[in-house]
Amino acid sequence: MSLAALAQLDGKALIAAVLRDYAGRVAVTSSFGAESAVLLDLVAQVDPSAPVIFLDTGELFDETVEYRYALERKLGLSNVIVVRPTDEDRKAAEDLWQTDADRCCELRKVRPLAKAVAGFDVLIDGRKRVHSAERGALPTVQQAGDVLKVSPLATWSEDHIEAHFVARALPRHPLVAQGYRSIGCWPCTRPTKPGEPARAGRWAGSAKTECGIHTVSLGTVKD
């Protein structure tokens, strides 16, 4: 199927088409965060053995790690690949979030993920337009260098996401009940306030809005 044809699809239909057309060359990236269950549920319905890359930065909430195991069991995901920064990078990043969040994200997220996805031509992610102004024009299919980025939920509204949670009886991330709507590393994540966009709790008080894994061409990252 052509990229133009793929771009006309979303949700489960897009996931199914990509896994079929690029068989063996596709990986799903997931934070196992607040809304991750929806994308992972759609992937599991198509192929529960599809590679799912989970980035453990070393600074995740304990609840996120527990949620990962809960979703694996619930959805029958059989190929979750846990990726971590090297010991050297982890030491270099210690407490760096306080002084240089961009460098911290590079060491804890961008570099290890770049290595993990090196063998894949297509990456499926859970980004959505409703999350922030920066993602307001996010396409469902986007060629980024040598990698095809696919965001099956890009056009989904908050109501659509919520309806899927209810219809499929999906478990919630434990921190959602405490007001967390976008969940990353614990030092740089806070609950959102009423009226704020979902990602307002990430790097609050700074101009930073992205960690880099979706904005940097991973194929260009070097050791």
CB proximity list for 168: less than 8 A, separation 6 or greater? 41
- Contact status, residue 117 vs residue 124, Cβ threshold 8 Å: no
Q: Is 104 among the residues known to form the active site? A: no
Q: Return all residues near 10 (Cβ < 8 A) that are at least 6 apart.
A: 140, 152, 153, 154, 155, 156
* In the chain, % of residues over pLDDT 90: 75
Question: For residues 71-101, b (16+ Cβ closer than 10 Å) or e, as one string?
Answer: bbebbebeebeebebeeebbeebeebbeeeb
The CATH number of 3-217, from 3.40.50.300, 3.20.10.10, 3.40.47.10, 3.40.50.620, is 3.40.50.620
Which is the catalytic residue, given 104, 105, 188, 211? 211
pTM for the model: 0.90
Name the band, by pLDDT with cuts 50, 70 and 90, for residue 219.
very low
Q: Check pLDDT > 60 for residue 223.
A: no
Q: How far is CA 161 from CA 1, 41, 47, 186, 190, in A?
A: 27, 12, 20, 24, 21
> C-alpha distances in angstroms, 186 versus 75, 102, 193?
26, 15, 17
Locate the domains of the chain by residue range. 3-217
* Backbone φ, ψ for residue 212 (5° rounding): 120, -20
pLDDT in tens, 93-135: 998 999 999 999 999 999 999 999 998 999 999 999 987 666 6
